[in-house]
């Protein structure tokens, strides 16, 4: 089955810096890669996603890149703010069915004011 | 849309007791998932249903865990008997195609 590795497990940055979280996947058939943000004590929520037919997608301060050949994808957050502090999960899923995702272990991002 | 609704939000129980967690998926969603989240193991998929039918329960840790989905609007996850190592946050999620939504979770503490 699919295996998703996520790094780093913790990331500490100063407000205004950029943050990058990286994930690799094992199944070349995976074609959908969502990212979830989980604030303390809350549910994971989708913040951005990318499909395998594009290499990059951007939404304001958040961007995701995908390298299908290397089977890795990354989340980039620019101009970080304290409210970006959360656990971020990457996931990968294959076509068909309901996009059942395999999640990474999560990255705890701490943005220091 | 009220989202995925889980109850209770918090549950504290004694070891050996039966625990039942409840989930109401988003209306119209055809998949329902149960996850367990701990610091040590992250998000673990326990079981998922498609149109109320269990499809994959390979993530269920032991026979003490069971899940049912008697209709499209309700699912339960039961632990009997509960043990301290079952303490975790249990999330339910439902989906239709790409629309994947988590509930608010149930924080279970077994003492």
Give the mean pLDDT of chain B: 94
B100 touches chain A (CB under 8 A): yes
Predicted local confidence at residue A98, as pLDDT: 62
Predicted local confidence at residue A53, as pLDDT: 84
Indicate the helix (H) or strand (E) that contains A33.
strand A32-38
Pairing mode, strands A10-14 and A107-112: parallel
Nearest to A98 among B95, B103, B105 (CB): B95
pLDDT in tens, chain A (113 residues): 789 999 999 999 999 999 999 999 999 999 999 999 999 999 999 999 999 888 999 999 999 999 999 999 999 999 999 999 999 999 998 877 667 888 999 999 999 99
Higher per-residue confidence, B23 vs A54: B23
pLDDT at B1 over 70: no
Predicted local confidence at residue A57, as pLDDT: 93
Query: Could you tell me the two tokens for B90?
Result: 């249990």
Whole-angstrom distance, CA of residue A53 vs CA of residue A51: 5
Residue B41 burial class via C-beta count within 10 angstroms: exposed 0-12, middle 13-18, buried 19 and up:
exposed
| 8 Å CB contact of B102 and A103 | no
Work out the end-to-end distance of chain B between its first and last CA atoms, rounded to an integer number of angstroms. Answer: 36
> What is the pLDDT averaged over residues B21-43?
94
Q: How confident is the model at residue B38 (pLDDT cuts 50, 70, 90)?
A: very high
pLDDT tens readout for residues B80-109: 999 999 999 999 999 988 778 999 999 999
Ranges of beta strands (E only) in chain B are 5-7, 10-13, 19-24, 31-38, 42-50, 53-56, 65-71, 74-79, 88-96, 99-102, 106-110
pLDDT tens readout for residues B50-88: 999 999 999 998 899 999 999 999 999 999 999 999 999
What is the edge-to-edge ordering of all strands in the sheet holding B19-24? Answer: B5-7, B19-24, B74-79, B65-71
Best B25, B52, B100, B107 residue to mutate vs chain A (most A CBs within 10 Å): B100
DSSP code, position A83: G
């Amino acid at each position: 089955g699919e295996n998703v590795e996520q790094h780093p497990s913790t990331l500490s940055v100063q407000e205004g810096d950029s943050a990058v979280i990286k994930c690799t996947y094992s199944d070349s058939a995976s074609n959908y890669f969502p990212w979830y943000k989980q604030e303390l004590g809350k549910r994971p929520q989708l913040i951005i996603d990318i499909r395998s037919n594009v290499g990059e997608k951007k939404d304001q301060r958040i961007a995701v890149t995908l390298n299908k050949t290397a089977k890795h994808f990354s989340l980039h957050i620019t101009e970080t703010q304290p409210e970006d502090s959360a656990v971020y999960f990457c996931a990968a899923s294959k076509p068909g069915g309901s996009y059942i995702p395999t999640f990474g272990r999560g990255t705890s991002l701490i943005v220091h004011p | 849309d009220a989202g995925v609704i889980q109850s209770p939000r918090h549950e504290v129980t004694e070891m050996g007791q039966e625990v039942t967690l409840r989930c109401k998926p988003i209306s119209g969603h055809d998949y329902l998932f149960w996850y367990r989240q701990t610091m040590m193991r992250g998000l673990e998929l326990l079981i998922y249903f498609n149109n109320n039918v269990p499809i994959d329960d390979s993530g269920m840790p032991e026979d003490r865990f069971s899940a049912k989905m008697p209709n499209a609007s309700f699912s339960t996850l039961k632990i009997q008997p509960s043990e301290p190592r079952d303490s975790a946050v249990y999330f339910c999620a439902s989906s239709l195609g790409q629309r994947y939504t988590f509930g608010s979770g149930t924080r279970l503490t077994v003492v």
